[in-house]
Amino acid sequence: MEKFANPAPGFQRNPDKAITVEPYRGSVTVRAGDTVIARSSRARVLSEPPYPAAFYIPFDDIDFSKLSGSEHSTHCPYKGDASYWSVQSAGEAGKNAMWAYEQPFDEMTEIRNHGAFYTSKVTVEATPD
């Protein structure tokens, strides 16, 4: 059994829970209207049934000048505490459009310094290789 310094309480209670993180073989572009917010060929796909898969994009490939930090936060017993950012040009529609786990639990360190976007708030285009 693997020992973690910061284990996820969700996995401790439910060790059969399956969350996978895999490299996406292709590119992902995130837009708000005509404004490109992120573009990456290094995205990761997080799968956590029954939820839809989410693309996690490295912070280096996100244009944070188009985003503003939000006071909103949420907690996941598997991933940790999520911070949120809003898309400035999208107004109310772009509120809390991106989230990230800046200090995820040990089991989810693959998504540290990666952001994910709500497809209901922005356009996320994935182009496979």
Q: Where are the domains of the chain?
A: 9-128
Q: In this model, does residue 104 exceed pLDDT 70?
A: yes
CATH for 9-128?
2.170.150.40
Beta-carbon contacts of 64 under 8 Å, excluding residues fewer than 6 positions away, are 85
Q: What is the mean pLDDT of residues 46-53?
A: 94
Q: In this model, does residue 2 exceed pLDDT 80?
A: no
Average pLDDT, the chain: 95
Half-sphere exposure of residue 35: CA atoms within 13 angstroms, side-chain side: 14
The model carries a pTM of 0.94
Token pair recorded at residue 22: 């895999």
pLDDT of residue 102: 96
pLDDT of residue 1: 46
CB contact at 8 A, 115 and 59: yes
